[in-house]
Copies of this chain bind each other. A is one copy, B any other.
Amino acid sequence: MSFINETHDNSLTSWVASANQSGTDFPIQNLPFAIFRRANSSEEFRGGVAIGDQVLDLAIVAEAGIFSGEAHSAVTAANAAALNEFMGMGQSYWSALRLALSRALREGSDHQNTLEGALVPQSDVEYSMPCHIGDYTDFYTSIYHATAVGSLFRPDNPLLPNYKWVPIGYHGRSSSIDVSGQAFPRPKGQTKAPDADTPSFGPCKRLDYELELGIYLGKGNELGEHIAIENAENHVFGFCLFNDWSARDLQAWEYQPLGPFLAKNFASTVSPWIVTTEALAPYRTQWTRDENDPQPLEYLESAQNRESGSFDIQMDVAIETQKMRADNHAPSKVSESSFKHSYWTVAQMVTHHTVNGCNFLPGDMLGSGTQSGPDHEEAGSLLELSRGGKESITLTNGEERKFLEDGDTVIMRGWCEAEGFNRIGFGSVEGTILPAK
């Protein structure tokens, strides 16, 4: 469990000047991790930490030998082409490295001279997947999304009776998850119009994004053991932005009775930076449930979960069309929401997932499910914003969309704000639709 400590102090400033600028996603209070190298180079990918507009190269930090104990072990493990080993070390190692990095990057640190040579401008780097995702599970934690989508797929029965009892989730595809910048052809598949006798085959006509958070598991559990809710967050390394692209017309035809399949597995995109659970401590909020709703079964209930199990992570989505790029027009924001609306907490997801003995491995990822808020304008997908494709939304340059068109780039951002603490951000996740092959 992560609590407020000296690394969250909003009076801290860094000797990296850009980290002290107002509005940066990456002040010294954030310190997220990624895997990077200089763009278009043949360098090895290795771990890095964002600080202002720079990446701190953990290979150089590890080789400099300036940390000791758990922090030294942790940075050594993070000097690799994937963060899995570091993520699997557990909370005390993550905290030790965070504290060591916070102290080393602070104004007045003795390590400034050593580490100035370890900075690479973010504008000069490329990222790879931050870790190997063995298994990816997508949850469905926004009751607003579940109700809105349910009413389109099952008008007579939008929210199924299990929703308020079970943190509904399903297994997704790991192989097709890639890092921000992913560009992929419009998927093809079977669809069936309501009035057609037979299905037809062709490019998806209702291509959509889903605004989600990705939640990375750190330390896993043995098969047959479960993770109690009191201990669940100790297994959660951190969070990223996640676009779970969806082919709505494929989904409508294929999803019964075993769930979404080809409608989802053609591509999913994560942001390069993992913001640690510890960095998010100041932005925790109460988790409550309407007293008229069923309260969780005992295994999904804890005092800490009630008190601070939610995270107020704000997110928005923008679309940049081909025309906008040609016209040098800024991307058009289409909605904004927050993870605080989630009907289930991260701890509840972790505990539910393992209550049957299912095992996590370091680097496994959970999707939060589309994070739609209570208002229509806070919907996390075009399916919802366009009311099932019935109404177009108008972009800031006058173009209209019901679903995504070829050449559209979808840009999601995330950030946290709280009274008395610095704003921190997640960077962005971007992905682009290419024409069908």
Which A residues have a C-beta under 8 Å from some C-beta of B?
134-135, 137-138, 140, 150, 153-154, 160, 162, 165-166, 168-176, 178, 184-185, 187-190, 192, 198-201, 204, 220, 223-226, 247, 250, 253-262, 265-267, 294, 297-299, 352-353, 355-361, 364, 434, 437
Contacts and interface: CB of A to CB of B under 8 A. Distances in A.
A254 B166 contact: yes
Contacts of A223: 175-176, 178, 184, 266-267
A220 B176 CA distance: 12
Contacts of A170: 170-171, 258-261
10 closest A-B pairs by CB: A259-B259, A187-B356, A170-B258, A171-B171, A258-B259, A266-B356, A265-B358, A262-B356, A266-B357, A185-B224
Given A160-B257, A266-B356, A135 B175 contact: yes
A253 B137 CA distance: 18
A171 B176 CA distance: 13
B364 A257 contact: no
A189 B355 contact: yes
A364 B175 contact: yes
Contact of A168 (B220, B258, B358): B258
Contact of A297 (B135, B190, B262, B266): B190
A190 B297 CA distance: 9
A166 B153 contact: no
24 contacts: A150-B257, A153-B257, A160-B256, A162-B192, A165-B198, A168-B257, A170-B171, A171-B172, A175-B220, A175-B223, A175-B359, A176-B223, A176-B359, A185-B357, A190-B297, A198-B294, A199-B297, A223-B267, A224-B437, A226-B437, A255-B258, A256-B257, A259-B260, A267-B357
Given A175-B134, A190-B165, A260 B262 contact: no
A142 B256 CA distance: 16
Contacts of A353: 262
A73 B184 CA distance: 34
A243 B299 CA distance: 29
A265 B354 CA distance: 9
Interface core residue of A153, A170, A299, A359 (most chain B CB under 10 Å): A170
Given A188-B355, A258-B260, 13 more contacts: A134-B175, A162-B199, A169-B261, A171-B261, A175-B220, A176-B223, A184-B357, A198-B294, A201-B298, A256-B257, A257-B259, A262-B353, A262-B356
A138 to B, nearest CB: 8
A355 B170 CA distance: 21
A266 B352 CA distance: 12
A21 to B, nearest CB: 37
A267 B359 CA distance: 9
